[in-house]
Amino acid sequence: VMGVGESTRTAAEVGAIDCHAHVMPSEYVDKLVDASRKDPSLAPAARRLTEEHPHRFPLALGNIDRRLELMDAAGIETQVLAMGSPFLSSRDDRIRRSLVQTWNDSALDLAAEHPGRFFVFASVPLPDVRGAVAEVERLSGRENVIGWLINTHPAGWPIDDVRLDPLYAAWDATEAIVF
């Protein structure tokens, strides 16, 4: 993260970096709930985020002030935000693209509102490879995107499936970090 911006601080002067912190912005959850009405395959994910997760993972769903307080108390200067589970299972590419864009944009808004506290591992709408490449092109070079998150078996495909080659080529072209 120190390479993302200009810094003359030594490693000893930088607080800890949590390089994998899940967040589910309210804009994303609302859109997921709405999409689950059109695509019933999303209903279990919407139900988990609205019924189960608020009790088990309250920080993932919102309270940013509390998240910042806990980060400060633990000596964590920066978190790299990543979409958490459940991963998107919609068979409709348009719905998946819209949900991923909403999550990415909401996470980037959060990072912009708290400079230096949050960076983003952006997501892609796999198995829609064309949509994934389009999302890489849309967000490449955007401030606070420091890499990309990929599930190890998107849509049941192994991570080295040749159908993903165009996505890997897009990431290679931008020298992206993939997590």
**pLDDT in the model for residue 51:** 79
**pLDDT in the model for residue 47:** 84
Rg of the chain over all Cα atoms, to the nearest angstrom: 17
> Cα–Cα distance between 135 and 174 in angstroms, integer?
12
Residue 66: burial class (beta carbons within 10 Å; 0-12, 13-18, 19+):
exposed
**pLDDT in the model for residue 1:** 41
- pLDDT means over runs of 10, the chain (179 residues): 49 75 88 91 85 64 83 92 76 92 95 96 93 96 94 83 96 93
Judged by phi (left if over 0) then psi (alpha if -120 to 50, else beta), residue 142 lies in beta
User: For 40, phi and psi rounded to 5 degrees?
Assistant: -60, -20
pTM for this model (two decimals): 0.86
**pLDDT in the model for residue 98:** 94
> Cα–Cα distance between 32 and 165 in angstroms, integer?
28
**pLDDT in the model for residue 157:** 87
